[in-house]
């Protein structure tokens, strides 16, 4: 059975992630299969809309093939760059797609799963949704358009999510605009059937199936998030949290101290620049240049070792402290790719 099931039902193109043992984490071949289907449907006038979900198992999509990225990064990085290039082409294709796309963020939606759900016009969260960009824990950064999406969230919640990797539930996703609708899991199959029957009435079907989401927990912390995460400098965020005597601040401070200082500084720079981007293709070009370098740096290899391979959750970051990560180091990571090696859209 293929890791991605693509077919047309009625007038709706369906993409179903089908790699349940890996919580549907994306591989390059999965990205290629999705690109092929989307490209075909784009030219097919009989296809009126697209739905993206997962076929079985828990979670929509847990991310990408991180172990492969680390193995590649430890040598020449070529396989990792090829994966990023293809994945970002998929992200950009979804972002610019003219036909309406409905993504069902039912269950775990992290990393690569964010990249294929956030470009969709309609993004459905459920009571099972667990949304996160946890990359700083493995020395990476919120890519797949994270610099664009997170920088456009209310206040400083994007910076908070990028640095801490905090998980948002379905109600919080709806509140922040990461989801456009909140639908209970048990109503999803009926909703999908209605969309297939009448793709021209997607908005009506979504509206009818939607529930009022519970009170979002993050709402209580927005003032503190906006205050303590106000700066684009990591040292100033840590200082603001240190000065805040609340339990919330001490918890977030402890969380941040487990993350890669380099990854945190890369993330802050990415969001600061992403907020000013006018074209999503420019965002993906930038993220590709950053990813191509970060994947070969010590922190990513160490983060994958600590979290996924040895599972000791005790990474030894290099540099170990924020002040060791110089502006020059970040400038080097953000330097454009050499001519002929840049990311290009389809």
CA–CA gap between residue 10 and residue 268 (Å, rounded): 44
DSSP state of 61: B
pLDDT for 57 equals 79
Catalytic residue among 143, 252, 283, 287: 143
User: What is the chain's mean pLDDT, rounded?
Assistant: 97
The phi-psi region of residue 71 (left if phi > 0; otherwise alpha if psi is between -120 and 50; otherwise beta) is: alpha
Q: With respect to residue 214, please indicate whether it lies within any of the assigned structural domains.
A: yes
Query: What is the average pLDDT across 53-81?
Result: 94
CATH of the domain at 253: 3.90.226.10
pLDDT for 268 equals 98
Query: What is the average pLDDT across 299-304?
Result: 97
Catalytic residue among 13, 73, 112, 165: 112
Q: With respect to residue 346, please indicate whether it lies within any of the assigned structural domains.
A: no
pLDDT for 58 equals 82
CA–CA gap between residue 141 and residue 291 (Å, rounded): 8
pLDDT exceeds cutoff 90 at 56 = no
pLDDT for 175 equals 98
pTM here is 0.97
pLDDT exceeds cutoff 90 at 69 = yes
Catalytic residue among 86, 87, 106, 135: 135
121-180 pLDDT per residue, tens: 999 999 999 999 999 999 999 999 999 999 999 999 999 999 999 999 999 999 999 999
Contact 269, 334 (CB under 8 A): yes
Catalytic residue among 13, 59, 63, 64: 64
Q: With respect to residue 343, please indicate whether it lies within any of the assigned structural domains.
A: no
What angle, 0 to 180 degrees and rounded to 10, lies between the N-to-C axes of helices 188-197 and 202-209? 160
Q: With respect to residue 341, please indicate whether it lies within any of the assigned structural domains.
A: no
Question: Is 135 among the residues known to form the active site?
Answer: yes
235-268 pLDDT per residue, tens: 999 999 999 999 999 999 999 999 999 999 999 9
Q: With respect to residue 192, please indicate whether it lies within any of the assigned structural domains.
A: yes
pLDDT for 188 equals 98
Please give the span between the terminal C-alpha atoms of the chain, in angstroms, as a whole number: 27
pLDDT for 1 equals 78
pLDDT exceeds cutoff 90 at 320 = yes
Q: With respect to residue 338, please indicate whether it lies within any of the assigned structural domains.
A: no
Q: With respect to residue 75, please indicate whether it lies within any of the assigned structural domains.
A: yes
The number of distinct structural domains making up the chain is: 1
194-213 pLDDT per residue, tens: 999 999 999 999 999 999 99
**How far is CA 179 from its chain centroid?**
13
Sorted by sequence, the CB contacts under 8 Å of residue 299 that are 6+ apart come out as 139, 260, 262, 263, 315, 317, 318
- The residue range of the domain holding 317 is 4-333
Question: Is 57 among the residues known to form the active site?
Answer: no
Q: With respect to residue 30, please indicate whether it lies within any of the assigned structural domains.
A: yes
């Amino acid at each position: 059975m293929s890791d991605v099931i693509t077919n047309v039902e009625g007038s709706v193109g369906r993409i179903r992630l089908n790699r349940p043992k890996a919580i549907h984490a994306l591989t390059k071949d999965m990205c290629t299969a999705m690109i092929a289907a989307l490209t075909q449907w784009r030219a097919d006038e009989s296809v009126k809309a697209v739905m993206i979900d997962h076929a079985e198992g828990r979670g929509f999509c847990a991310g990408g093939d991180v172990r492969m990225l680390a193995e590649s990064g430890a040598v020449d990085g070529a396989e990792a760059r090829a994966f990023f290039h293809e994945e970002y082409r998929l992200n950009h294709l979804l972002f610019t797609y003219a036909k309406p796309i409905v993504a069902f963020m039912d269950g775990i939606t992290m990393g690569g799963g964010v990249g294929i759900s956030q470009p969709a016009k309609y993004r459905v969260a459920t009571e099972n949704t667990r949304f996160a960009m946890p990359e700083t824990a493995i020395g990476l950064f919120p890519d797949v358009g994270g610099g664009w999406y997170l920088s456009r969230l209310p206040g400083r919640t994007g910076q908070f999510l990028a640095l801490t990797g905090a998980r948002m539930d379905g109600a919080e996703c709806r509140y922040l605009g990461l989801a456009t609708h909140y639908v209970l899991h048990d109503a999803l199959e009926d909703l999908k059937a209605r969309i297939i029957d009448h793709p021209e009435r997607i908005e009506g079907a979504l509206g009818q199936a939607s529930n009022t989401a519970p009170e979002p927990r993050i709402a209580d912390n927005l003032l503190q998030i906006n205050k303590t995460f106000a700066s684009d400098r990591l040292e100033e965020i840590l200082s603001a949290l240190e000065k805040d005597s609340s339990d919330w601040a001490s918890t977030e401070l402890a969380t941040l101290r487990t993350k890669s200082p380099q990854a945190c500084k890369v993330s802050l720079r990415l969001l600061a620049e992403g907020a000013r981007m006018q074209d999503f293709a420019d965002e993906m070009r930038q993220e590709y240049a950053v990813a191509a370098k970060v994947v070969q740096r010590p922190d990513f290899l160490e983060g994958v070792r600590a979290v996924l391979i040895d599972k000791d959750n005790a990474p030894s970051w290099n540099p170990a402290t924020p002040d060791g990560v110089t502006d020059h180091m970040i400038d080097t990571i953000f330097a454009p790719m050499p001519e002929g090696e840049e990311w290009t859209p389809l």
